[in-house]
């Protein structure tokens, strides 16, 4: 009986030894973490650190807001640019919504984006085309100049056939 008890005790202590070792190592690790150590927040020291911090502060206070405002503006005029590229008949109205969106902090921007990508079905039904007339096209100016020259030539030809009597 005594042997059995001794066997049980030795088996239970064998199980406890690794556990106590682990707890002891864990306690040592936490103690080492609690010890003070030297830490360096920067690679630079003294006057170099002060001048670099001054430069970073100028960048953060002056240059970063300017870049942020320009980026915000460029993103907000994207629907206007898309509408002009697609020759949307309501491009000026989309431009107005983009400007209003800038004033209201961007809340109207998704509406302008959707409007720029929509196909103007009602405009096509009313005017027979889904392209705005207000958009200047390079070919139209040349065509109108050619038409004016043709009309002038025709008038000169008619005047040559029928001289006008001035009296």
Q: Which residues contact 142 (CB under 8 A, 6 or more apart)?
A: none
Q: Residue 58: which pLDDT band, with cuts at 50, 70 and 90?
A: very high
Question: pLDDT band for position 4 (50/70/90)?
Answer: low
CA dihedral 18, 22, 28, 32 (to 10 degrees): 150
Side-chain-side CA neighbours of residue 61 (13 Å): 6
End-to-end CA distance of the chain: 154
Q: Can you give the pLDDT at residue 139?
A: 46
* Mean pLDDT, rounded, for 152-167: 77
> Does the structure show a pLDDT above 50 at 97?
yes
pLDDT at position 76 is 87
Confidence of residue 125 (pLDDT cuts 50, 70, 90): low
What pLDDT is attached to residue 117?
A: 87
With bands split at pLDDT 50, 70 and 90, how would you rate the model's confidence at 23? confident
Lowest mean per-residue pLDDT among 43-52, 82-91, 119-128: 119-128
Sequence-ordered alpha helix ranges (H) in 35-90: 47-58, 64-76, 78-85
Look at residue 35 in the predicted model and tell me its pLDDT: 79
Q: What is the mean pLDDT of the chain?
A: 79
The two tokens of residue 11 are 């088996």
Segment 57-72 mean pLDDT: 93
Report residue 8's pLDDT band, with 50, 70 and 90 as the boundaries: low
**pLDDT at 19 (0 to 100):** 72
Measuring CA to CA, how many Å separate 79 from each of 43, 114, 152, 156?
46, 8, 43, 49
């Amino acid at each position: 009986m005594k042997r059995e008890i001794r066997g049980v005790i030795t088996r239970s202590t064998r199980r406890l030894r690794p556990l106590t070792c682990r707890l002891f190592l864990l306690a040592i690790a936490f103690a080492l973490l609690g010890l003070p150590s030297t830490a360096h927040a920067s690679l630079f020291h003294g006057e170099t650190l002060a001048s670099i911090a001054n430069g970073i502060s100028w960048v953060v206070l002056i240059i970063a807001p300017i870049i942020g405002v320009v980026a915000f503006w460029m993103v907000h005029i994207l629907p206007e640019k898309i509408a002009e590229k697609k020759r949307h008949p309501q491009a000026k109205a989309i431009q107005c919504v983009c400007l209003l969106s800038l004033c209201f902090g961007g809340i109207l921007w998704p509406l302008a984006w959707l409007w720029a990508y929509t196909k103007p079905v009602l405009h096509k039904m009313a005017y027979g085309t889904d392209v705005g007339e207000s958009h200047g096209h390079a070919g139209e100016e040349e065509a109108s100049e050619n038409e004016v020259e043709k009309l002038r030539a025709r008038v000169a030809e008619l005047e040559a056939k029928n001289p006008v009597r001035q009296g």
